Structure 1
Amino acid sequence: MAYITRYIFGTDKLRPQAFEVRGINGISTGVVHCQDAAMLSQWIKHITNNIIGLTNLQMKLYNSSFPASEHVLYMGWVCEGVLNHNLPWQNWKPKFIALKGTDIYMFDTPPLNTHDWVERASVWAVHQTMFRVIKESEYVDERQHCFLLQTAMQESRYLSVETRQDLLRIENAWHRAVYNAVTRLGNKTFAVTQGGRSSGLTLDWAGGFALYDTETREFHWRYKFSQLKGSSDDSKTKLKLHFQNENKEIETKELECATNLQNLLFCMHAFLTAKVAAVDPSFLRAPPKTPT
């Protein structure tokens, strides 16, 4: 549960042909300088493989204490970019994140026992959280391999990992966690109005979208997830869903959310992401690989 880094601690600056390893308690090996780029690459590869392998073993130990629905899918270090009073992005703090059950956990230091999972973590539901890989053109400084975690009603967390492979591991684990969360949730209904009528918009894993009129107690319309061709919103309360009917025509449904719009949008994104992931069931069943 250590991590290896080429960055000068707390900054976005890479050390030339050098690295350090930081332990679970933050203690550093000191800076290790390599003779050339090839030697640097070999050291990073071997140390990273050992860290991933040992962390996966630790995950198995934790999972022996948790029910299957609460198993840990991913654990690892990231760095969080922190703004300093309108100054440029210049402060990076290590954070330890984990995907466990249907939630994402963030720690200042790794959990050492089952009690730490309850007492020392910030926790968000995966189906109410947005994960987005940042394009290079959007980077705020020289840190690479960045992504956003955003939850409704909260600021985004801007995070970075060391390598492209680290980013892919997190992204793959995220898709598995979203799939697990959505299939266990089954369905979710949000209070909305359509044409001034009080209704409920249901997202159902098996059925797709459905609008229920609370006055007539009847469903006004239903569409499969695959029929959704686009959506737009005003970032406040109004949402437009564009569906393709059986005649290949686009039908637009305009809704007004009675509650937080972002909750609905994030949940909708989670259902759609899970449907895409379900196309490849072998991927969903694949456990994290331990490097050899």
Structure 2
Amino acid sequence: MSAAKSKNRSTRTLDVVHSGMVLLSDGKGHGKPARLILTKEVLTVQTAVSDDDAKSSGVVDTTDSSVRIVTVEKGKEGLGLSIKGGMSGGQAVPVVVSKVIPGLAAAQTGQLFVGDKILEVNGTTVNGLTHEEVVRLYLWGTDKLRSNAFELRTVDGRKSGIIHCEDAKALEQWVRHIEQHIEALNKKSIKMSNKYLHPSDHITYIGWVEERMPEGYFEDPKLKYEQRFLILKGSDLCVFETPPLNSEELDRCISLHKIYETVLRTALKPKDRRIHIFSIDSSQGTSHYFSVQSVQQLQHFESAYYNSVYKAVTSVQTRTFACSFEGRPAGFVLDFKQGFSLYDIPTKKYIWQYSFDELVSSSDDGKMRMEMIFRDPEKGRDAKETKEIECDQVLSIVYTLHAFYVTLMMGIDPEFLKASPLE
């Protein structure tokens, strides 16, 4: 979520979608009163201007050398600091900085040093907190939830603010309104972008997710998740670190997959407290474990994903894979209308062909070999034929075959079409 903070901003009443009083973390543990205003395109935080605000507008309060406020913007490697201390066995041990890693965020401020005593983190006092509780205060990507509060982050993910609501009902209202308007703005952005794209490259989904990273990715082991921005564009599934702002940046994703060579899994065993999760496995052998904020966001992505699979498969229609059959070079063909066929290169002829509904089962070794068992009506009611091919793109065949079958089922399932219209 992105937010704009304002000291004195006029807002047209007709544009206001939702507004109300909240508490904004102010460096004193409980927060200060603020007015949150959501319009059609902007979320504004209004706070009263005071002398203290004017004095503390910088990164560091230089008027008091004993107590200072330091803003550390989290980088990809984390904050770049370690701490010691905290409540232990009924004994209060001061929380102090035990390590500042050169070159990282904390060191770059030039204001944090080993031995500094930490009084507050993100507006919450550390008095009476255990070491683990203090660490959770300054880590993003963990699963500790604040009661009746939500976090606003800038688009680049470097700054955030904690908004405390009056109760759970107010929290639910704010989150719902914000999510709905983010979705509405995303649809507007998609519509505008598609005006300049070929129909085969149209964008069907954009949105933020968080990806669980492998062990060792973060220097701090308590950090687990990294923000990601997903785009479904034509037959491509694109993963970005930040949203692309122009057509050139659309080509700068950190992961790119053909959507018909991926599989979406939602029936997963959670790896932590997050429950709105899904994974994207690809024929390249990679797997992305993603988390979203709500079941609505998960359902929205799932619907968009299968719509994209349908459009991609019906657009590509046919895929051919180089392989060998009985020691001869061949081309294994998957055709959306015709089914399976094998083209023998030496004779330049198709030597066998089966429809999709004639496939009984298939298996593969995940490397080179794939075996398929087909019904053969021409040889008898229960007759079966086994075909084995060798191909260095076995996983691509398996994932593409899965996408073709999913598309066939979507095209004939009235309940699915009713729930997720194929646009």
**The one of 220, 224, 238 aligned to 1:105:** 238
The gaps in structure 2 that reach 5 residues or longer are: 4-42, 44-136
**Superposition RMSD in Å:** 2.7
1:183 aligns with one of 314, 318, 338? 314
- Please, what TM-score do these two structures have when normalized by structure 1? 0.86
For the pair shown, the structure with the greater C-alpha radius of gyration is: 2
For 2:253 and 2:412, how far apart are their aligned partners in 1? 36
Q: What corresponds to 1:69 in structure 2?
A: 200
When residues 230 and 27 of structure 1 are mapped into structure 2, their CA distance, relative to the original with a 3 A threshold, is same
How far residue 239 of structure 1 moved from its aligned partner, in angstroms, is 1.4
**1:30 aligned counterpart, secondary structure:** strand
Task: Give the letter for the 1:264 counterpart.
Answer: I
Q: Could you tell me which amino acid in structure 2 is paired with residue 226 of structure 1?
A: D
2:422 alignment partner AA: R
Among candidates 251, 254, 262, match of residue 118 of structure 1: 251
The answer as to whether partners of 2:369 and 2:391 remain within 8 angstroms in 1 is no
Asked whether 1:54 is paired with 2:218, we answer no
Look up the match of 1:289: none
CA 1:105 to 1:178, structure 2 compared with 1: closer, same or farther past 3 Å?
same
Q: How far apart, CA to CA, are the structure 1 residues paired with 2:391 and 2:270?
A: 35
Q: Within 1, Cα distance between the matches of 2:285 and 2:369?
A: 20
> Is the alpha carbon distance of 1:182 and 1:215 closer, same or farther for their aligned partners in structure 2, counting shifts above 3 Å?
same
Q: Counterpart amino acid of 2:365? A: D
After TM superposition, give the deviation of residue 245 of structure 1 in Å. Answer: 3.9
Name the CA shift for 1:175/1:120 in 2 (closer, same or farther; >3 Å). closer
Moved more, 209-218 or 86-95: 86-95
**Residue 340 (structure 2) pairs with residue 209 (structure 1):** yes
Aligned AA (1:274) = T
Aligned twin of 1:244: 375
Hey, what's the Cα distance between the residues in 2 that align with 1:154 and 1:23? 33
Q: Is the 8 A contact 1:17 1:36 kept in 2?
A: yes
- Find the aligned partners of 1:191 and 1:175 in 2 and give their Cα distance: 27
Match of 2:166 in 1: 35
2:402 to 264, 269, 276: 269
User: How does 1:92-171 map onto structure 2 within 5 Å?
Assistant: 92-120=225-253, 122-135=255-268, 138-171=269-302
Q: 1:198 to 1:91 in 2, by over 3 A?
A: same
Q: What is the TM-score when the length of structure 2 is the normalising length? A: 0.61
More off after superposition, 182-191 vs 46-55:
182-191
Counterpart amino acid of residue 147 in structure 2: P
Q: Which portions of structure 1, spanning 4 or more consecutive aligned residues, are displaced by more than 6 angstroms?
A: 86-89
SS in 2 for 1:44: helix
Separation in 2, partners of 1:195, 1:77:
48
Runs of at least 5 residues in structure 1 that lack an aligned partner in the other structure = 287-292
For 2:323, the equivalent position in structure 1 comes to 192
The letter for the 1-side match of 2:326 is: G
Match of 2:422 among 281, 285, 290: 285
% identical equivalent positions? 33
SS in 2 for 1:198: strand
Kindly provide the amino acid, as one letter, of the partner of residue 234 in structure 1.
D
User: Contact 1:149–1:157 at 8 Å: present in 2 too?
Assistant: yes
CA shift digits 1:70-93 (9 cap, x unpaired) = 111000001010123399784101
Bigger proportion of residues as helix: 1
The residue identity in structure 2 corresponding to 1:238 is: R
